Amino acid sequence: MKVLKVTKKIASGLVTVTLFTTLVFMVFVVLMTKASGGEPEIFGHKIMTVLSGSMEPEFKTGSVIAVKPGGDLTRFQKDDVITFMEADNKLITHRVVEVVHSGNHVMYKTKGDNNNAADRELVLSDNVVAEYTGFTIPYVGYIGSFAQSREGGALLLLIPGLLLIIYAGTTIWQAISELEKDKKKPLAKNGEEVEGTM
């Protein structure tokens, strides 16, 4: 009986911690997404959402990746994965397949790992925004994209909060029920519990 109570207590604690951690994580995602107005930045790394499957299997559509901006933008070598700005102000993350030197300029021929051919335009080193650091979390990007909408941000905060409130209410109700049961049990003269007989 004691083992069952201890197990219930541990399970209850784990559920509480999980729900609370989820709530804190959702608040963090929503606030970072709203505050940055785009890609959040953590410890000098930009967190970006992968919108296409051009770099699979390195990272999948909907993943979140960390890229490090700055530094010498002419330093990249073949096989480095870089994030660069396209002519239409769209950010792309592809692999360098060739480094091209033209006078004082350094340019990169890039290709998505999952694409059949290299990108049509060479990337001028000045258009490189960041380097992929190898950190990726699959599918979390869908949450970030959802969080950018007003409804999504509200919902991501509301659901874990409601679950936490419901769980807390259930736990309190169970505790009150246990206290009521204990009050109804008859006591022997020496103060110990006795089994009720019919």
- Give residue-wise pLDDT tens across range 162-188: 777 777 777 777 777 777 776 766 655
**pTM for the whole thing?**
0.54
Q: Does residue 189 have a pLDDT over 50?
A: yes
* pLDDT tens sequence across 109-130: 999 989 999 999 899 999 999 9
Alpha helices in 37-149 (DSSP H): 140-148
Q: Which helix (H) or strand (E) holds 182?
A: helix 150-184
Q: Give the residue numbers marked as catalytic.
A: 52
pLDDT of residue 197: 47
Q: Which of 137, 158, 163, 161 is closest to 147 using CA atoms?
A: 158
d(CA 101, CA 144): 38
CATH topology of domain 39-140: Umud Fragment, subunit A (2.10.109)
